[in-house]
Amino acid sequence: MTISNLQQETDQSFMLQALALAEKGKYSTLPNPCVGCILTKNGIIIGSGFHKKAGTGHAEVNALADARNKGNDTSGSTAYVTLEPCSHFGLTPPCAVALVKAGVKRVVCAMTDPNPLVSGKGFDILRDAGIEVIVGICEHQARRINVPFLYAMEHEIPYVTQKMGISLDGRIALKNGASKWITSAESRADVQTLRAQHQAILTTAATVIADDPSMNVRTDEFPKTVKLSVPEEYVVRPLKVIVDKRKVLTLKEKIFSSSGDVLLVYPSDNRDVSEKKLTEKINVLYVPAVNNSDDLDIEQVLKYLHSIKIRNVLIESGPKFCKFMLSHNLINSLILYIAPKLLGDDAISFCKLEGYESMDEINSLKLAKCTQIGNDIKLEYIIKE
Binding site: residue ranges? 58, 86, 95, 165, 179, 181, 195, 207, 211, 218, 316
DSSP 3-state assignment of 361? helix
CA atoms within 13 A on the CB side of 380: 10
Interior/surface letters 348-379, b for 16+ CB within 10 angstroms, e for the rest: bbbbeeeeeeeeeeeeeeeeeeeeebbebbbb
Q: Which residues are annotated as a binding site for substrate?
A: 179, 218, 316
Is 60 noted as a catalytic residue in this protein? yes
Helices (H) and strands (E) in the chain, counts: 11, 17
First to last CA, the chain: 32
Round to whole Å and give the CA distance between 47 and 65.
8
Round to whole Å and give the CA distance between 163 and 14.
35
Residue 293, Cβ neighbours under 10 Å: how many?
10
Length of the chain: 385
Round to whole Å and give the CA distance between 153 and 83.
14
HEC string of 166-207 equals: EECCCEEECCCCCCCCCCCHHHHHHHHHHHCCCCEEEEEHHH
Pick the catalytic residue: 9, 23, 60, 299? 60
The residues facing 377 across adjacent strands are 338, 372
Round to whole Å and give the CA distance between 188 and 264.
25
> Is residue 261 exposed (0-12), middle (13-18) or buried (19+ Cβ within 10 Å)?
middle
- Compute CA distances 357 → 27, 189, 242, whole Å: 43, 40, 35
Q: Which residues are annotated as a binding site for Zn(2+)?
A: 58, 86, 95
- Compute CA distances 313 → 151, 202, 203, 210, 228, whole Å: 12, 7, 10, 21, 22
Round to whole Å and give the CA distance between 97 and 86.
9
Round to whole Å and give the CA distance between 353 and 327.
8
Q: Which residues are catalytic?
A: 60
